[in-house]
Amino acid sequence: MFTGIVEETGKIVAREHTDDGLRLRIGADEVATGLEHGQSISVSGACLTVEEFREREWFEVFLATETVERTYLGDLATGETVNLERAMPADGRFDGHVVQGHVDAVATVTDIESVEEDWFFEFDLPAAFDRYVVEKGSITLDGISLTVADLDEERGRVTVAIIPTTYDLTTLAEKEPGDPVHLEVDVLAKYVERLLEARFD
C-alpha cells in the first residue's frame, strides 16, 4: 500500500523489451536506498516489483504485458522522469490516502492554469470513472495523492489545485495539455459501490 506522497522523481535510464513485457531501469537516489529484492515501488502510480538494484543509483522493474497495455509506462523514453514512492511501512506516517498502486485507466491533461503561487490542473476522466470521484474527495494522478477541487460531471472532467511544493517535486511541472496521467480512483468508493449493489440485488 502507498500514500500518494511522492518521495522523489527518477529517470528512465534503460529499457529492454522481452517476449513477456518490458524491463525498465530507473535512476534514483533516496528510493534506491536500502532496497530488497521483491520490494514494491510506485512508479508514477503503478505498483511494480524491484528485481535488481544498485544502492543509491538505480533499480529495475518488470512490466508484464497487461501493465504495459494499461499504463503509458511503455511509451516512456530514456531520460524521461517518473514519480517514485516506496510502500508505506506498517509503523509509517499516513500523510496522503489509501493508494493501492493499481492503475484504473489513463486520463489526459486538458488545461493548466497558474494562479498566484498555485496551479490548477484539469483532467479528462475516462468514461465510467467519474462516478467514483467527488468534490473534496481524494484522487490519485501519476501516483500523487490529490484533493478534488472541482468536478464537472457533464464534461467528465476533474480539477485539482497544486501547491508549489507538489509542483516542484513531482512530474507535474513537466506536464502539458494532451499529456497522459495514470488514474487511480479512491478504492473506498469502489467498496461502497459493491456493497450497495449486493444489498439491492
Q: Active-site residue numbers?
A: 2, 40, 47, 49, 64, 102, 147
Cα 182 to the chain's mean position, in Å? 5
**From its phi and psi, is residue 56 left (phi > 0), alpha (psi between -120 and 50) or beta?**
left
Cα 170 to the chain's mean position, in Å? 10
- What's the CA gap between 130 and 118, in Å, rounded? 24
Please name the amino acid found at residue 178.
G
- What's the CA gap between 12 and 74, in Å, rounded? 11
